[in-house]
Amino acid sequence: MGVLPVAPGETGFTAELGRRHADLFEAFYEHPFLKGLREGSLAREQVLHYVGQDYQYLTAYVRCYGLGLALSPDREWMRFFHDGVSVILAEEGHAHEALCAYAGVSYEEAQADRLAPSAQAYINHMTAAGHDTLGVLLAALLPCPWTYLWAAARFTGEAPLDPDHPFHGWWSFYAGAYESDKLARTRELLDRVAAEAGPAERERMERAFVTSCHYEVRFWEMAWSLEDWTPPDGS
């Protein structure tokens, strides 16, 4: 087992989730696509597949924050979702720029016109969570920042990032100060709702979290295998 996503001694609902499902964080880190991002060895088409799908994913993520706004009981929650939307719209594209530069295309050229099955499924899952409770929605949204920030901190903590690394911009974006307070805030809010939720809701929250962790791994697999809608040939 590699590096846990939770520090020793951390308590609360999300710490428990991170500990119980550390195997999925590990599968995320060890996936060949993320390994290729670490080693700078991805094929151009794999990088482009990822960027095209991830742009669509981010659009859906912002819509889910909109569902969060609709479920918000007060201004504190509204501020959380509102600020999240602003950050994603203003910043998150920067992570894609390094990938587009590697592939030698503009951001516009990297756009996908159709969601691949795994990206579609992940988006559908988050959207469905947005029609459940605030706790279930937030649990479905948490693996997104948690897996990326944890993986980037782990990789850049192992050795200083080579300034000539082909994905330097991507790694430094997720390893930077960007979002780390946002992740902590998301966990804090989720811990708070979980403490007030009954056992049945907490179970749906855990299920939503685990499903999103699986989809994070499958998102790598999608880009790695250039997944599309071509039906199996039946042979």
Ligand X SMILES: Cc1ncc(C[n+]2csc(CCO)c2C)c(N)n1
| Residue with Cβ nearer ligand X (56 or 194) | 56
**Which amino acid, residue 33?**
F
Note whether 179 binds ligand X by CB under 6 A. yes
Note whether 170 binds ligand X by CB under 6 A. no
| Residue with Cβ nearer ligand X (126 or 205) | 126
Note whether 173 binds ligand X by CB under 6 A. no
Contacts of 211 (CB under 8 A, 6+ apart): 125, 140
Q: What does the H/E/C string look like for 30-70?
A: HCHHHHHHHHCCCCHHHHHHHHHHHHHHHHHHHHHHHHHHH
Residues 180-209, one symbol each (x = binds ligand X by CB under 6 A, - = not), give: --x---------------------------
Note whether 54 binds ligand X by CB under 6 A. yes
Residues 83-102, one symbol each (x = binds ligand X by CB under 6 A, - = not), give: -x---x---x----------
Compute how many residues bind ligand X; rule: CB under 6 A. Answer: 14
Note whether 29 binds ligand X by CB under 6 A. no
CB of 203 to ligand X, least distance (A): 24
CB of 128 to ligand X, least distance (A): 17
| Residue with Cβ nearer ligand X (45 or 203) | 45
CB of 198 to ligand X, least distance (A): 27
Listed as own residue / partner, the contacts of 24-27 with beta carbons closer than 8 Å and 24 or more positions apart are: 24/210, 24/213, 24/214, 24/216, 24/217, 25/146, 25/147, 25/150, 25/151, 25/213, 26/1, 26/2, 27/217
Which of 33, 148, 167, 171 forms a contact with ligand X (CB under 6 A)? 148
Per CB under 6 A, residues contacting ligand X are 54, 57-58, 61, 84, 88, 92, 144-145, 148, 179, 182, 216, 219
